[in-house]
Each structure stands twice: as structure tokens, then as C-alpha cells.
Amino acid sequence: MIEKIHHVGIAVHDLDESLKFYRDTLNLHVHAREEIKDQGVRAALLTIGQSEIELLEPLNADSPIAKFIERKGEGLHHICFQTPDVDAELEAIKQKDIAVIDQKPRKGLAGMICFLHPKASRGVLVELATP
């Protein structure tokens, strides 16, 4: 069961420069910041009401975020929906023959996460998370 939009992911060239806008200009609180080597990103989660914004900076030129920025430029990368049980949600989606990127949930900045393939949702990269 999808509960709410957990966050919107934004691909950026430079996390620190991007924080000058989201944190310093918009006064959004950074409540998590981490380098996630297996995903090739430095990321920050900023609180906005009951939801969040996730800023994603590539660690290297081979990371998925770097390739995304190369193809499309900085900007909206994904939307993340919160669910109380990401394992069950992913299994239910796979039973419907929906294309997924992750076959099982993994640890991410937002908790346990998984991604659905953008071709399943008309070009939008969808993430599911259980904080």
C-alpha cells in the first residue's frame, strides 16, 4: 500500500552548490547526508512538510546519476513513494509483470528501497521506500 510521496530525487552536479539554494534560500532542513558508494552518489535529504527532497551528486563519471546528467542535464530524477513494507510491495508489483530494476530491496538513504523501471511508468523512474 502506497502511503504518500516520500521524496522527489533531483540530480545535481554539485551537492554543496545545490544546498545553497535548497537549504540556504528555501530554508529547508538537511536531516540526512551520506555518501553511498554502491550507488555512486553523495546525497542529502531535506525536509519539506511531510515529504522530502533528495539531492543526488555523482561520485564518478560511471555512476547512474552522472549518466543521467550527461543525457538529460540536472533536474528531476525520480519520485519515491513510501510504503510500510517495501518487500511486499515489490513482490506484488513483480506478480503484475511490471518491469523492475531491483529484484529485492536494498539499503538507501531513505531506508529500504527499490526502483521500478521507467518503462513501466511512462518514463518516470519510481522508487519505493520503507523508512
Query: CA 88 to CA 26: how far, in whole Å?
Result: 36
46 touches 110 (CB < 8 A): no
Predicted confidence (pLDDT) per residue in 61-104, tens digit: 999 999 999 999 999 999 999 999 999 999 999 999 999 999 99
Per-residue pLDDT, 30: 98
What proportion of the chain, given as a percentage, has pLDDT over 70?
100
Domain boundaries, the chain: 4-130
Predicted confidence (pLDDT) per residue in 2-49, tens digit: 999 999 999 999 999 999 999 999 999 999 999 999 999 999 999 999
**What's the CATH class of domain 4-130?**
alpha beta
Query: CA 91 to CA 104: how far, in whole Å?
Result: 8
